[in-house]
Structure 1
Amino acid sequence: MSDVNLNPNLHLMKAFGDAVRRHSDRPAIVHNGESLSYADLDALVRAKTRDLGSDPGVVGVPATHAPDTVIGLLGVFAAGGAYMPIDPSFPAERVEAMYAAAQGQPVAGPAYVLFTSGSTGEPKPVLTPGEAFGVTAAALVELFALTPDDRVLQFASLNWDTCFEEILPTLTVGAALVFDDEAHTGSFRRFLRMVDERRISVLDLPTAFWHELVRHLAEDDASLPDCLRLVVIGGEAAAPARLADWHRLDTGAVRLLNTYGCTETTMITHAVELDAPMTERVPIGRALPHVRELIEDSGELLIGGPALASGYLGRPEATAERFIERADGRWFRTGDRVSRRPDGLLFHEGRIDHQVKIRGVRVDPGEVEAHLTRHPSVAAAAVTGVTLAGRTALVGYVAAPGPAPDQAPDPALEGGADLLGWLRQRVPAHLVPSRITFVPELVHTASGKVDRAGTHRRYAPKENPR
């Protein structure tokens, strides 16, 4: 990329340029079997960079499982802008809110902007600078032991930073990034056939997907393709029962890594190799070399080091609340409570706040409640995370004011389906509860606050797990 003015502090783009020079003829991206060489990818990125011009600010890029997304990502980085993925499936109202939250904000150099959940109901943009994701990408090359011979599947949603774990280390080491439609059909047989046919060597999977994959392997007496050498999991707690199943299978040649990280701390901060079954809980790992960690008396995990995000774009108060300055440096409050074993391994002990992981994405139930209460016929709402069919899901409880004597009941209140449909038009799928139940009133604590857990205990259908 010699003819593009690159930010000299963006080591990631320098590493990509080195990969281009060393591996120009090798495949950089494979999309449904069609290869794009490093030289061709470089040319497309340079063209995108020229189109963007200097100082493009925050740039929204359609996030699809295709090479154009990677070209846009690298082009924005090279131009010194901030990459913001836009999922084409998101409701228009949500996309407008994302642009409104990000546009007009000062962005100093290459970065990316992702959105996390907050109690206000408005998208909360996390700004991650080039230094943070450059340092982390280099660390993940070492953690994953990536080489130019690897072929890494791009599987994660392109709206969350897990996708950068797949994309950035791969394209800075000269390996091949593989996109394939067969990865997203929902069929494990087709998924495994695709892994074999595309000779995938590295998979980075949501833990919930890995749970189901292990179940499929065990129940169907199936096996992993021999090309696979590494499986990385993360996003939520790994089940000891599935780990036991994994080790009963013919998986000895495949390295299994459990990982932990927050959007605000840039991809992965902790990892552990799960090389044996565990009878109780599965640890989240040890800090990577570039990560500083601190456990407060409350048990909350704080993260420091060069991989911290800059903060929440245009939200100084929210930034000050979660990113704190101390005499020993700058730290991010993860909200996760942890404990440390004598050998240094950390175990997750729950949340300090009410946030839950849905499909590996951190969700504040308050955000969903804020959207629900914007419906004119909803007086109050309580949303909580529960286990349904082995996965964490959101369920909602809605209290509605009775109609005036001369008014008919609101049709939306005849059943949860109408309200769910209304919500789907406004928020992404991970913020839509699996079910909504209309109730006469919510349960409150002695201090008058809504008791989410108490509401669920009172009204949950008896046949559903609590």
Structure 2
Amino acid sequence: MTTIDALLAIHPGEAPAIGGPGRDWLDYDGLRALTGRVRADLRAAGVGPSDRVAIVLPNGAAMATTFVTVAQAACTAPLNPAYREDEFAFYLDDLKAKAIILEAGYDGPALAAARRFGLTVLRLAEDASVAGVFSLTAEGAVTPVEGDLPGAEDVALILHTSGTTSRPKIVPLLQSNVAASAQHIAASLSLEPGDRCLNVMPLFHIHGLVAAVSASLAAGASIFCTGGFNALNFFAMMQEARPTWYTAVPTMHQAILSRAGRNADVIAEVPLRFLRSSSASLPAQVMAALGETFGAPVVEAYGMTEAAHQMCCNPLSRQKPGAVGVAAGPRVAIADEAEDRLTEGTGEVVISGPNVTPGYEGNPEANAKAFFEADGKRWFRTGDQGAFDADGYLFLTGRLKEIINRGGEKVSPLEVDGVLMDHPAVAQCVAFACPHPKLGEEVAAAVVLREGMSADEAEIRAFARERMAAFKVPARVVILDEIPKGATGKMQRIGMAEKLGLVS
């Protein structure tokens, strides 16, 4: 199956597809009917199969169904609702969006930015009783168009890279990319129609869009869509949704763990088949605590936007703490970091497969650096450093641009994280590079302490000194109430020194 439309065409009509708090379930027949109405509404509003539709909606069932239905008629471009007007203006202009979908009554910065460029504004009115059902109404004068269903080689989803150190790059993902990745994830997790995902991931991000929503729909399973991650109501949502699994980033898992003790009754009442973690490294200590708390396998996966999310996944039958799993969809190999050739041992992780983007849009320089031909295949450089063990499990050392170069000694921030997380008082930590006048870079770390426990910088550094070589020990340990995170809940190493005022 090579399109999102084809993924949905085969499932029994009465099976539940999309749910949400306090709403009736939308079944597969209802989702297909909604898709037909949305396609008609888009064509009536002048939106054709190759036109780009920005989506700015809060998390929830309507956001999920908007993505799924619009992607079967045009090209979707979900954006973070928390952006400011100038940020929206940048992305809308960069995307060359034709239209934007906003909630009925919304009068915020996305609307102001859309009006700068004369975009067609489509207002979404959500049904009050059935999850994910909505209607679209175009504002102003529009000229209807005709158009077929998007094909396998048409762009289904456009996202930007995070752009932490440079201008964000445009990542177009084809219908075939999204469909392939959804099927890869469903297969690696053995998803079946009886499975139900509790989605807490933001739906402007590849993790939630593909791992939670698209993979579930590919398997004929169901997704209960929350309004976003909230540790305070997670277990209430779990009780209402009755999920068999959920997927999240490590910081979310840690927040869930912190409230698990007082919700042991819900955990017993709603047993999970497995838990999934992706989008950042899951500390081995957190994996062990999750497994013990929920009595279920904790599956760490490895994904990125350019791969339509998943590249590797720990099998349900055997998880290795600290590993991101075995190849789970695309081919995964190790390449020389400087030369365009595959190699053995530690090097840059590269991938090749049907889920991989054809290339960054309008950026030949980035494509020349990111893609190369070897062994008869086109490989994409992930920017991650790692190595496979004898069993084919991939262990990451870190992002190449995040590896700390301390006077020529290379330090893996993930290794430092792993040691600091063994300290009994440390709940969260992130190691990062801090500028140094003579060494170039020095190791630093930010930590959050466990509730009711205490430790100071000297104690944590002494703990580390007993367990790793002196050059790897953080020269600075900053103790915080909360570590700064990005929009998707990930702790970002690059720029952390500046955020914490450690750069003079």
TM normalised by structure 2 equals: 0.64
2:369 matched to 1:321?
A: yes
**1:209-228 map, 5 Å:** 209-217=252-260, 224=267, 225-228=269-272
In structure 2, the partner of 1:49 is 39
> Which of 351, 359, 372 pairs up with 2:399?
351
In structure 2, the partner of 1:301 is 349
2:229 matched to 1:178?
A: no
In structure 2, the partner of 1:203 is 246
In structure 2, the partner of 1:38 is 28
* Alpha-carbon shift at residue 156 of structure 1 (Å): 0.8
**Amino acid of the structure 1 residue aligned with 2:9:** G
Pair 1:317–1:47, CA change in 2 (3 A): same
**1:71-220 map, 5 Å:** 71-79=65-73, 81-103=74-96, 109-118=154-163, 121-163=166-208, 164-181=210-227, 184-187=229-232, 190-217=233-260
The CA distance in 1 between the partners of 2:449 and 2:203, in whole Å, is 25
Say whether the 8 Å CA contact 1:62–1:88 is kept in structure 2.
yes
Secondary structure of the residue that 2:314 maps to in structure 1? strand
Pair 1:16–1:215, CA change in 2 (3 A): same
* Alpha-carbon shift at residue 70 of structure 1 (Å): 2.7
> Which of 54, 65, 68 pairs up with 2:59?
65
The CA distance in 1 between the partners of 2:164 and 2:278, in whole Å, is 24
1:330-378: CA deviation from partner (whole Å, max 9, x where unpaired): 1111111102211111111122223899xxxxxxx99xxxxxxxxxxxx
In structure 1, the partner of 2:10 is 18
The CA distance in 2 between the partners of 1:48 and 1:180, in whole Å, is 22
Secondary structure of the residue that 2:379 maps to in structure 1? strand
* Alpha-carbon shift at residue 203 of structure 1 (Å): 0.3
- More RCO (CA 8 Å, sep 6+): 1
1:409-437: CA deviation from partner (whole Å, max 9, x where unpaired): xxxxxxxxxxxxxxxxxx99988977857
In structure 1, the partner of 2:447 is 388
Aligned length: 365
Say whether the 8 Å CA contact 1:292–1:304 is kept in structure 2.
yes
The CA distance in 1 between the partners of 2:263 and 2:172, in whole Å, is 44
* Alpha-carbon shift at residue 125 of structure 1 (Å): 1.3
In structure 1, the partner of 2:275 is 231
Say whether the 8 Å CA contact 2:332–2:349 is kept in structure 1.
yes
The CA distance in 2 between the partners of 1:282 and 1:429, in whole Å, is 20
Secondary structure of the residue that 1:307 maps to in structure 2? coil
Identity across matched positions, percent: 22
Say whether the 8 Å CA contact 2:388–2:395 is kept in structure 1.
yes
* Alpha-carbon shift at residue 272 of structure 1 (Å): 0.9
1:145-194: CA deviation from partner (whole Å, max 9, x where unpaired): 2222222112111121101211112123322211234x63331xx31232
Say whether the 8 Å CA contact 1:151–1:202 is kept in structure 2.
yes
Say whether the 8 Å CA contact 2:78–2:204 is kept in structure 1.
yes
Secondary structure of the residue that 2:309 maps to in structure 1? coil
In structure 1, the partner of 2:407 is none
**Amino acid of the structure 2 residue aligned with 1:13:** D
Pair 1:386–1:184, CA change in 2 (3 A): same
* Alpha-carbon shift at residue 257 of structure 1 (Å): 0.7
2:338 matched to 1:338?
A: no
* Alpha-carbon shift at residue 56 of structure 1 (Å): 4.2
The CA distance in 1 between the partners of 2:254 and 2:488, in whole Å, is 24
**1:372-451 map, 5 Å:** 386-389=445-448
Question: Any unmatched runs of 5+ in structure 2?
Answer: 99-150, 338-346, 404-412, 415-431, 434-440, 451-486
* Alpha-carbon shift at residue 248 of structure 1 (Å): 4.0
**Amino acid of the structure 2 residue aligned with 1:168:** S
Pair 1:265–1:99, CA change in 2 (3 A): same
Question: Any unmatched runs of 5+ in structure 1?
Answer: 1-8, 358-364, 367-381, 392-426, 440-454, 460-466
The CA distance in 2 between the partners of 1:276 and 1:15, in whole Å, is 29
The CA distance in 1 between the partners of 2:488 and 2:259, in whole Å, is 29
Pair 1:247–1:327, CA change in 2 (3 A): closer
**Amino acid of the structure 1 residue aligned with 2:162:** S
In structure 2, the partner of 1:418 is none
**Amino acid of the structure 1 residue aligned with 2:198:** L
Secondary structure of the residue that 1:152 maps to in structure 2? strand
Let me know the Cα RMSD of the aligned residues. 3.5
Pair 1:428–1:149, CA change in 2 (3 A): closer
